[in-house]
């Protein structure tokens, strides 16, 4: 990369200016860029239109959209050379395009990269820098930092909207012309479903071809100059270029004067030979007074007055022995690098947070704040409570849903129909005798009720008729009729049950009773008709 050849003013710009620079670049090389783009783009679209099965025609534009990152590489190829004053033609681009894909085309199309809307910023990392793996990830992170990725993503969002508007407008325009003259609707082509083989099935692909063909290079060019801007910012291209220019100017002068060159060389050497500022500031250990940690001089051998007696001599010996010990005689000079304290650090030190806050948050600089843990647990608890509350609030709805699911199978046999207990164990052993006894005792209602419920019990338990609790007499009769039609119930049984139901209804709801003889005959025929069904 020769920065001297750079055709753009490489300086750190606001990101929107950088994107605008891309537009300017694209305007200058529009012919080559668009022709190259369309040559590949239209070919792919044509192939898709031909190869897609009829049923999937409405969706083949998604394949084109998926392949778009590959076509973007042709634009990057042209523009990356154009910024270094290297003109490439359409033919060169098309010839070079397969080679441009070689670098990580699979990774570009897989994982989530095609749907990453700010991928335009990263494309040159794979294509131009040839970065792979961990290094590529680092490069993407560095390039995307300081809001660069955000700008690329928002730019992508704007371009996607323009694309959508173009696509929609095209469909609407066609819709207006194809509408019935009496009811013109721009939504005609959006509403209708078209017959297989109809040209309208190709509309999504066609409109995406046009909108993507217009907006694709615009997006790519904007992202490319954003990438260049970020690199200029990171690598100080402007400084390098200025220095190069200065160096060039100087060198031309120095070449004329060897003395000046020698002076510059000397100056450089002097500069290199100078110690680092920190090193210069650091005191030399040998120059420092040798004191122990109590500030007392080590090995104090200063002249002492003569001892005044043996006691004093003994004391001095003790002092010397102690002073020679590790506690007083060790002298250390340690040289370390230490980060300078920022103003904020100093302020923080000067004004520490209250103790309760420190207790709550722990170490502010620590990686895991206790409060984060507390918040995490709190949020999870709140989420669980929210779900529980929603379930509780919609319990009626859930109940109904479960109910309808349960209701679909056949209803469970009831123990009670029309208020009558129909469990076999609730019936006497000899039903007709018990019924007649009740009848003779004047308990006509009880007698008829017993006969009716005994019949129901036999039908429900012996004949396995499915009788539900909400069934009326008519419902029970209808179920019996269905069973007879299926052949699971004898005709005589049904006939008897029909007659009994009629009498029961007349007695229960109209207080109309059958005579003794008729009742006796009903009891007699009960055993033959239903009573033997066990």
Partner 1 sequence: MSVSPEHFTQATEIAQRLQAEIGRAVVGQSDAVRATLASLIAGGHVLLEGMPGLGKTLLVKALAKTFAGQFARIQFTPDLMPADVVGHAVFDLKNQTFAVRKGPIFTHLLLADEINRAPAKTQSALLEVMQERQVTIEGESHPLEAPYMVLATQNPIEQEGTYPLPEAQLDRFLVKVMMDYPSADEELALARLTTQNRVGDGLDVAAVNTVIKPETVVTLQQVAAHVRVDEQVLDYTVRIVRATRDWPGIGIGAGPRGGIALVRLARAWALLEGRDFVTPDDIKHCALPVLRHRVAITPEAELEGLDADRLLRGLLEQLPAPRA
Residues in the site for partner 1, rule: CB under 8 A?
A: 396-397, 399-401, 407, 411, 416-420, 449, 468-475, 504-506, 508-512
Q: How far is the CB of 180 from partner 1 (least distance, A)?
A: 19
Task: Report residue 79 as tokens.
Answer: 């523009």
Q: Residue 57: name the closest of 237, 230, 198 by CA.
A: 198
Q: How far is the CB of 219 from partner 1 (least distance, A)?
A: 42
Closest CA to 455 of 503, 527, 509: 527
Q: How far apart are CA 162 and CA 212, in angstroms?
A: 10
Nearer to partner 1, 369 or 414 (CB): 414
d(CA 5, CA 16): 24
For residue 513, the minimal CB distance to partner 1 (Å) is: 13
As measured in angstroms, the least distance from the Cβ of 208 to partner 1 is 35
Is 170 or 446 the residue whose CB approaches partner 1 more closely? 446
DSSP state letters, 115-180? G-TTGGGTHHHHHTS---HHHHHHHHHHHHTTTHHHHHHHHHHHHHHHHHHHHHHHHHHHHHHHSB
Distances (CA, A) of 463 to 479, 494, 525, 530: 11, 12, 18, 10
Q: How near is the Cβ of 402 to partner 1 at its closest, in Å?
A: 12
User: Helices (DSSP H) in 458-530: which residue ranges?
Assistant: 473-486, 491-510, 516-526
The DSSP line for 408-464 is SSPPPPPSEETTEE--GGGS-SSHHHHHHHHHHTT-HHHHHHHHHHHHHHIIIIIS-
Task: Provide the minimum distance between the beta carbon of 422 and partner 1 in the complex, in angstroms, as a whole number.
Answer: 13
Q: Which is nearer to partner 1, 221 or 448 (CB)?
A: 448
The Cα–Cα gap between 500 and 519 comes to: 10
Separation in Å, CA 242 to CA 111, 200, 227, 247: 42, 59, 21, 8
Q: What are the structure tokens assigned to 524, written together? A: 């007699």
Report the distance separating Cα 453 and Cα 420, nearest Å.
Answer: 6
Q: How far is the CB of 443 from partner 1 (least distance, A)?
A: 14
Of the pair 369, 420, the CB lying nearest partner 1 is at 420
Pick 129 or 416: Cβ nearer partner 1? 416
Between 33 and 449, name the residue whose CB sits nearer to partner 1: 449
Q: Least distance to partner 1 from the beta carbon of 506, Å?
A: 7
| Count of residues making up the chain | 534
Q: How far is the CB of 469 from partner 1 (least distance, A)?
A: 6
Angstrom distances, CA of residue 81 to CA of 2, 5, 152, 220: 11, 10, 21, 14
CA distance 285 to 298: 15
Query: Which of helix, strand or coil describes residue 416?
Result: strand
Question: Phi/psi at 181 (nearest 5 deg)?
Answer: -55, -30
| Closest distance to partner 1 from the beta carbon of 427 (Å) | 17
Say what angle helices 30-51 and 90-101 make with each other, to 10 degrees: 60
DSSP category for residue 307? P
The smaller minimum CB distance to partner 1, of residues 243 and 478, is found at 478
What are the distances in angstroms from CA 350 to CA 346, 354, 359, 436? 6, 12, 19, 107
Query: In the complex with partner 1, which residue's Cβ is closer, 26 or 467?
Result: 467
Nearer to partner 1, 218 or 417 (CB): 417
CB of 400 to partner 1, least distance (A): 6
Comparing CB distances to partner 1, the nearer of 49 and 506 is: 506
Tell me whether residue 92 or residue 416 sits nearer to partner 1 (CB atom).
Answer: 416
Cβ neighbours around 157 below 10 Å, total: 12
Shortest Å distance, C-beta 399 to partner 1:
7
- Count the neighbouring beta carbons within 10 Å of the beta carbon of residue 471: 18
The smaller minimum CB distance to partner 1, of residues 78 and 435, is found at: 435
């Amino acid at each position: 990369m020769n920065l001297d050849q750079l055709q753009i003013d490489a300086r750190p710009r606001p990101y929107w200016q950088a994107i605008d620079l891309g537009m300017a670049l694209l305007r200058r090389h529009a012919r080559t860029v668009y022709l190259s783009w369309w040559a590949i783009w239209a070919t792919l679209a044509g192939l898709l239109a031909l190869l897609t099965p009829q049923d999937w025609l409405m969706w083949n534009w998604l394949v084109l959209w998926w392949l778009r990152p590959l076509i973007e590489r042709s634009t990057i190829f042209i523009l990356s050379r154009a910024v270094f004053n290297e003109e490439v033609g359409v033919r060169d681009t098309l010839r070079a395009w397969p080679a441009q894909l070689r670098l990580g085309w699979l990774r570009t199309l897989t994982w989530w990269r095609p749907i990453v809307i700010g991928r335009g910023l990263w494309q040159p990392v794979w294509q131009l820098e040839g970065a792979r793996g961990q290094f590529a990830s680092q490069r993407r992170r560095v390039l995307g930092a300081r809001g660069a990725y955000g700008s690329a993503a928002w730019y992508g969002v704007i371009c996607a909207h323009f694309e959508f508007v173009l696509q929609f407008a095209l469909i609407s325009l066609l819709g207006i012309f194809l509408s019935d003259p009496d009811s013109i609707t721009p939504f005609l082509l959006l509403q209708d479903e078209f017959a297989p083989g109809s040209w309208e099935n190709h509309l999504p692909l066609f409109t995406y071809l046009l909108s993507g063909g217009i907006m694709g290079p615009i997006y790519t060019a904007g992202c490319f100059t954003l990438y260049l801007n970020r690199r200029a910012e990171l690598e100080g291209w402007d400084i390098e270029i200025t220095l190069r220019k200065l160096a060039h100017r100087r060198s031309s002068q120095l070449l004329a004067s060897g003395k000046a060159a020698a002076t510059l060389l000397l100056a450089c050497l002097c500069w290199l030979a100078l110690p680092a500022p920190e090193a210069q500031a650091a005191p030399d250990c040998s120059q420092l007074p040798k004191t122990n940690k109590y500030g007392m001089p080590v090995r104090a051998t200063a002249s002492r007055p003569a001892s005044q007696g043996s006691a004093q001599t003994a004391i001095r010996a003790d002092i010397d022995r102690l002073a020679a010990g590790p506690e007083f005689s060790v002298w250390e000079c340690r040289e370390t690098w230490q980060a300078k304290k920022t103003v904020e650090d100093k302020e923080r030190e000067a004004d520490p947070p209250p103790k309760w806050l420190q207790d709550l948050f722990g170490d502010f600089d620590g990686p895991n704040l206790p409060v984060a843990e507390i918040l995490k647990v709190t949020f999870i608890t709140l989420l669980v409570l929210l779900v529980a509350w929603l379930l509780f609030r919609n319990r009626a709805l859930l109940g109904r849903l479960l109910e309808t699911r349960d209701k679909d199978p056949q209803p469970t046999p009831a123990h009670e129909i029309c208020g009558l207990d129909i469990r076999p164990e609730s019936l006497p052993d000899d039903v007709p005798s018990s019924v007649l006894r009740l009848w003779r005792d004047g308990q006509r209602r009880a007698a008829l009720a017993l006969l009716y419920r005994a019949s129901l019990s036999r039908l429900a338990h012996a004949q396995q008729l499915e009788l539900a609790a909400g069934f009326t007499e008519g419902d029970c009769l209808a179920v019996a009729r269905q069973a007879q039609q299926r052949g699971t119930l004898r005709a005589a049984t049904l006939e008897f049950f029909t007659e009994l139901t009629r009498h029961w209804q007349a007695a229960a709801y109209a207080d109309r009773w059958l005579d003794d003889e008729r009742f006796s005959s009903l009891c007699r025929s009960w055993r033959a008709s239903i009573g033997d069904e066990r």
